[in-house]
Amino acid sequence: MSLFNVYPLYDVTPVSAKDVYVYDDKGVEYLDLYGGHAVISIGHSHPKYVSAISNQVEKLGFYSNAIQNPLQVELADKLETSSGCKDYQLFLCNSGAEANENALKLASFHNGKTKILAFKNSFHGRTSAAVAATDNPKIVAPLNAQQEVDFVELGDLESVEIILKAGKTCAIIIECIQGVGGLDENTTEFYQGLEKLCKQHNTVLIADEVQSGFGRTGDFFAFQKHNITPDIISIAKGMGNGFPVGGILIHPSIKASFGLLGTTFGGNHLACTATLSVLDVIEKENLMQNASDISDYFQEKAKELPQLKSIKGRGLMLGLEFDFPISELRKQLIFKHHIFTGGAKNPNLIRILPPLTIQKKHIDSFFEALKLELEK
Ligand code: PLP
């Protein structure tokens, strides 16, 4: 059987990894500044994470959600403390797309409306709100034709108001820092304006923290900088450090009832164990503080590059924008300097999403390599 060929692949075959390094089948060491799309939060193969998952799988890897699972309760408590999101309720699933699908479905159940409002250049996974992170019409089209999506320019509160006034929009979904779309972020006034409009028009505000959450920005969630209280927060990626797990945090104003949401694998014992150990390591190793400190260092170093047009993002969710396409540069970084970076919808932008354990010496290596390539 052949693989369904949907991914253009780089010719590198990773076989093992440790902290910020990945090793290929020929023993070559790569510095990982991308973490497989912001998935690796506490570093590859962190010893505490490996032993927690190994111990759990020996005991019990999975049992059904119809039977009590104390690990889910422990995770909900720990997540409340780590995130500071008081009194939210936790529903666990398996990925970012699934988290957003559940969030959108729940919003629609909650207020009886069906339309979705999302922002241009946002990306919410291959969902009903699958959007403009690509110009490929197959991906832009909502998967569920019944759930119509309005796309609005980021920052345009007037258009948002006109759409919400029509009374059909169940939810606004937003990434407070756009990931795949290219790291744009708007003003606090805009995010607070959205929150106010949602309240006025009985619309659910969903913060998609799938990429920006779990400490990556130096805050636990990116929306926290703007002092808003989303009705639903979707999480995945860094949450499991590579173990497939996602979830939504649901504000107490939205009530649960039996059968409202459901999943076979979501919140299984291994997924809970992986996430609990991620939270534990983030706390014990002070990784949110590290994200802020290393971000400051990175941004200072970036200023030394005369070729740089702008630096975007915050924490360890960063973008370097040039005035030329960066695909060749990324290839040189991988194949000559053995450094993984990411691309974005904007062809001139390099995305940097390293493990939160990264240190200054790694940033130095990156800038040395980048300078050599830019000066050629
Ligand atoms: N939301 C955001 C902000 C994302 O960046 C992504 C993936 O890149 C998703 C949702 C979808 O997550 P997943 O690929 O786990 O379905």
Give the SS3 label for residue 212. coil
Lowest mean pLDDT among 186-190, 239-243, 372-376: 372-376
Q: What is the pLDDT of residue 8?
A: 85
CATH fold label, 14-43+286-374: Aspartate Aminotransferase, domain 1 (3.90.1150)
Q: What is the pLDDT of residue 56?
A: 98
> What single DSSP character describes residue 24?
E
For 49-83, the DSSP string reads HHHHHHHHHHH-S---TTS--HHHHHHHHHHHHHH
The rounded Å distance from CA 305 to ligand 1 centre is 31
Atom number of ligand 1 nearest to Cα 244:
15
pLDDT by residue (tens digit) across 220-243? 999 999 999 999 999 999 999 999
Top mutation candidate among 37, 92, 210 for ligand 1, by most atoms within 8 Å of CB: 210
**Model pTM?**
0.96
Asked if 14-43+286-374 and 47-284 have one fold, the answer is no
Average model confidence (pLDDT) across the chain: 93
Q: Please state the rounded mean pLDDT for residues 189-197.
A: 98
Whole-number Å distance between alpha carbons of 89 and 256: 9
Q: Which of 247, 306, 297, 300 is nearest to 272 (CA)?
A: 247
Q: Whose CA is nearest to atom 11 of ligand 1?
A: 125
Q: Which of 170, 169, 168, 165 is nearest to 108 (CA)?
A: 170
The rounded Å distance from CA 126 to ligand 1 centre is 8
Q: Torsion over CA of 285, 250, 235 and 164, rounded to 10 degrees?
A: -130
Q: Please state the rounded mean pLDDT for residues 305-327.
A: 97
The rounded Å distance from CA 287 to ligand 1 centre is 22
Whole-number Å distance between alpha carbons of 120 and 135: 11
Q: Whose CA is nearest to atom 15 of ligand 1?
A: 96
Q: Please state the rounded mean pLDDT for residues 272-276.
A: 98
Tell me: pLDDT of 132 over 50: no
Q: Which of 247, 275, 262, 272 is nearest to 69 (CA)?
A: 272
Q: Which whole-number Å values give the CA distances from 34 to 86, 129, 216, 339, 350, in the listed order?
A: 31, 25, 12, 9, 10
Tell me: pLDDT of 137 over 50: no
- Confidence category of residue 133, pLDDT binned at 50, 70, 90: very low
Q: What is the pLDDT of residue 126?
A: 80
Higher pLDDT, 193 or 123: 193
> What single DSSP character describes residue 86?
T
Give the SS3 label for residue 343. coil
Tell me: pLDDT of 153 over 90: yes
Tell me: pLDDT of 214 over 70: yes
Provide the percentage of residues in the chain whose pLDDT is more than 90.
88
Q: Please state the rounded mean pLDDT for residues 41-67.
A: 96
Would you tell me how many other CB atoms lie within 10 Å of the CB of residue 212?
Answer: 30
Answer yes or no: are the C-beta atoms of 104 and 171 closer than 8 Å: yes
Ligand 1 pocket check for 208: Cβ under 6 Å: yes
Taking domain 47-284, whether its CATH number is 1.10.3720.10 is answered by: no
The token duo for 203 is 């619309």
Lowest mean pLDDT among 22-31, 148-157, 333-342: 148-157
Domain locations in the chain? 14-43+286-374, 47-284
